[in-house]
Homo-oligomer: A and B are copies of this chain.
């Protein structure tokens, strides 16, 4: 990754962190422990990939980094949705994980009941934050579109639906189509949403929004396949988790279903297509999106 891109990502990450620190108004009488539980998971760091896509998409359409401040509420909202999904996924009734990114999971610190309510609170408040874009000049029709899309991409035929399919498919999964369907909804949908939301903030055309959505699909899928590959061939430094864990858990992965070489070929194919989609979208300044896509999908493994 170039130093320039690293600096860009760092800058965007700082803007996002600063904004996330303000999403629960200090003058709201939120129960103290609820506020703590939500902040524990929301302000736990991480790559902030989804909100960075929101800002980068807005910049790509407008051509102006400063103009992306209108997209900040949408960036915060998608990170809140991502965070709530992790908090609920980690619950004993779901994946029953004790640690995430080296820290105790939310329910291990605050208890199961509070973790459920903190997740519900983050999910509900994400929609509140979306509406706050009105105060910084985003037109009502665009905010309405973002609200509808957030509810769709994070909902029944998006992330929540993907979780259900993943949970139910853990045993009987056999085809690459089924696996792709799960990844699309578990991972790609929120990335597609992020790009569309950034586009809306910068008043993107329908054609641009459509290209963003398909770009997000490709990137999300490629990212997931690569994750499967790295998990298999072992690169514990890059992944920050024990390698071959998928194999140990007998999880069905891309390499398991179609082999390692074919998996690598798919990553390259999806990435090429993603770049082509951006070119077709006639964006004012797409270079950062191209660079981010490439940085996520290093092919030299």
Contact = CB atoms under 8 A, between A and B. Distances in A.
Contacts of A140: 140-141, 144
Contact of A160 (B29, B91, B117, B157): B117
Interface residues of A, dominant DSSP: helix
A147 B150 CA distance: 12
Given A113-B167, A116-B93, A140-B140, A34 B160 contact: yes
Interface string A9-36: 0000000000000001000111101110
19 contacts: A28-B157, A29-B161, A30-B157, A31-B161, A34-B160, A34-B164, A38-B156, A88-B117, A88-B120, A91-B116, A94-B113, A116-B116, A117-B164, A119-B120, A120-B123, A124-B160, A125-B156, A127-B147, A131-B144
B30 A117 contact: no
A34 B147 CA distance: 22
A175 B11 CA distance: 49
Contact of A156 (B84, B88, B121, B141): B121
Interface size, A (range): 35 or more
A88 B88 CA distance: 12
B116 A88 contact: yes
Contacts of A33: 164, 168
A230 interface: no
Contacts of A128: 148, 151-152, 155
A35 B160 CA distance: 11
Contact of A120 (B29, B148, B160): B160
Contacts of A94: 113, 116
Contacts of A209: none
B34 A156 contact: yes
A114 interface: yes
A168 B123 contact: no
Nearest to A37: B164
Contacts of A180: none
B155 A131 contact: no
Given A94-B116, A113-B167, 18 more contacts: A28-B157, A34-B156, A34-B164, A88-B120, A93-B112, A93-B113, A117-B167, A119-B120, A120-B123, A121-B160, A124-B156, A127-B147, A127-B150, A128-B152, A132-B148, A134-B144, A140-B140, A140-B141
